[in-house]
Chains A and B, each alone.
Chain A
Amino acid sequence: MSQRYLLALYNNFDEAEQVVRELRTSNISGFNADDDMVVKSPIEHPEVEEFLGSKPVKVQWFTLFGALLAGSLGFLWVASTQANFFSQMKGGKPIVPIPANMVLTYEFFILGGVYITVLGFLVCAGLPARRSPLYSAKVSEDQIGILVKASESAAGTLKDIFTKHKALEIQEEVGK
């Protein structure tokens, strides 16, 4: 069954918020506000989360995993190379000196944390991505875009809601 994509552009966050609230409360068959609606904005605006409903961010789990893994592997690497000295005389000094190795472990911890955080960001944010079916360069300038995916039957109702809230522009495209 074919789907329709609609992108409505608004002047500011207040107008966009009104539309999103109405879409979330209205019960339109063939349209699910939680899954089929995306808000695009030129700036990071935490209030968008409030009116869109909170969605979990999982990047920090990547961070934790990456930092711990890299720190542990780093320490193991350094310690295993020092373990080579088990077969050699070391004059009574510790073969694996914990305090001195902490410096490098710390650096590995940070290195892994940063790299895996960025990897997590790309995974969680869905980047790199192809252009979505509808995109307006105005969204990266000064307008707020609301992109919805809906069935043919719901498209008309959605368009009416967008028009009622004085959308600056409505783009439409048929997709799968």
Chain B
Amino acid sequence: MTKDIREDIAWAKINQDVLNSLETPRKAYWVILFVAFCVFSVGVGCEVYQYNMGMGVSNLDNPHAWALYIASFIFWIGMSHSGTLLSAILHIMHADWRKPIYRFAEAMTTFSLITAAMFVAVHLGRVWQIYYALPYPNERWAWPNWQSPLLWDAMAVFTYLSSSMIFLYVGMIPDLAICRDNMQSGWRKKLYTLMALGWEGTDRQWRNFRMTYLTVACFLIPLAVSVHSIVSTDFAVSQQPGMHVTSFPPYFVAGALYSGCAAIISLFIILRYVFKFEEYMTLPILRKVVRLTFAIAMVWTYLNCVEFAATWYSHDEPEKAVLIQKAIGPYAPFFWTMIFCGSVVPFAMMVKKWQTNIPIMFAVSLLLNLGMFLERWMIVSPTLSHDFYPWQWDHNQWPSMVQWGIVFGSFGFFVILFMGFCKVFPSVSMYEVKEMVYHRSLQSRKAEAEPAEGFAAEELAVKGAN
């Protein structure tokens, strides 16, 4: 089997290749940034229009007060979970193949959370009153309701965002020192010098670094699970049919990991080409990510079936009506596209040849994410348009172009932040790739030496017997 990474890459070359990515990416980088800027401008335009005209232009109204903004909020929060999966869970499991790709996954976590947080303000409508989201008492010293999942949500997202930013930064310190040592002058030199905190790679620093990284990783795993579980309680704690589902927390977490992994595949392919990382983001590593994504896809599919079966056999009529409404009502095309993209398309990942076929995997990863976006929308809208009472039903209230425009723009916002990060900070962890190369070459040498030793011992045993 082909190796994940060449074991004879010189350490100096690793530094050079990653540092070059900060200076001279392919032209595609600027094209992507330009397109992202255009897409973002559409979103900004729509938001300015909504700000001036009021929330009516988004077509959000009772009973359909939540739609794409909340669906996008969940989608972007979910996207962030893959960073934790790759950097924390796989770190604890000693899966060293994650090393060349975890940095950008962590960055993705941070920027997708920022994008998600933006939707809270967008959905609020009156952006200037965003401070209402903070827990503070009114003039009679009555505090907000701490038992509300919305408040839990704000706290969980804040904790997750700040912790992932810290995790990203701490993990980057040794690489920032490399950048500092290799830059001649200018703003980059000053920035890296400041951010490297005087790191010199002493045994004391490494010792404490290792413990810190492991400890924060241990905190991040339950945190990631809690964040999406809490997001699921925004729905599950309510009494709405189609939302009051016991299996929502694991369903949300699985969906989050799924969409995150799909996004990792997309970004893996883009960064590999744009920053010429073919030697680090290798096809065997892509294959591993693809297999992991497939496994999570099957978990998500299973949880979907559990949800449908539980609804069907519960004989709860309003609950059933929402499910039927999803399958044959006005949302049916979106619902079935979700099922197709989320549960059928992943089977393309089982074809061994396709697992390392970049165009096919890129298309598959985009389709998976389309499915996961629709999944979030199908959680929010069908329930609100088909509530308990027929007089509350509203099947013809579709998101306006303003809503679609802002959602569309959020992708541009994310890409600008992400690509900006990759141009300023190393998106491949240099010191960890060196560790990977070093330990793997040691293992290979040991493996080569062992048969010879084994043979010698066998020979000695035979001699002894004689």
Contact = CB atoms under 8 A, between A and B. Distances in A.
Interface of A: 38-46, 48-49, 52, 55, 57, 59-60, 63, 78, 81-82, 84, 97, 100-101, 103-104, 106-108, 110-111, 113-115, 117-118, 120-122, 124-132, 135, 137, 139-142, 147
A21 B239 CA distance: 69
A103 B233 CA distance: 11
A11 B202 CA distance: 16
A158 B201 CA distance: 22
Contact of B209 (A111, A121, A129): A121
A126 B155 contact: no
Contact of A132 (B151, B200, B206): B200
Contact of A60 (B174, B203, B215): B215
Contacts of B141: 84
B146 A111 contact: no
Interface of B is mostly: helix
Given A38-B203, A42-B201, A127-B197, A107 B146 contact: no
A78 B144 CA distance: 10
Given A60-B215, A114-B216, A140-B201, A44 B435 contact: yes
A114 B166 contact: yes
A140 B146 contact: no
A100 B147 contact: yes
Nearest to B205: A125
B98 interface: no
Contact of A38 (B151, B159, B204, B431): B204
Nearest to A96: B146
Contacts of A128: 197-198
B71 interface: no
B208 A137 contact: no
B166 A126 contact: no
Contacts of B354: none
Given A81-B137, A104-B152, 19 more contacts: A40-B201, A41-B203, A41-B206, A44-B206, A44-B209, A45-B206, A49-B207, A63-B215, A78-B146, A81-B143, A107-B156, A108-B155, A114-B159, A117-B219, A118-B212, A125-B208, A126-B205, A141-B12, A142-B10
A127 B137 CA distance: 39
B163 A111 contact: yes
7 contacts: A52-B203, A59-B208, A59-B215, A78-B146, A107-B226, A111-B162, A122-B197
Contact of A125 (B159, B209, B226): B209
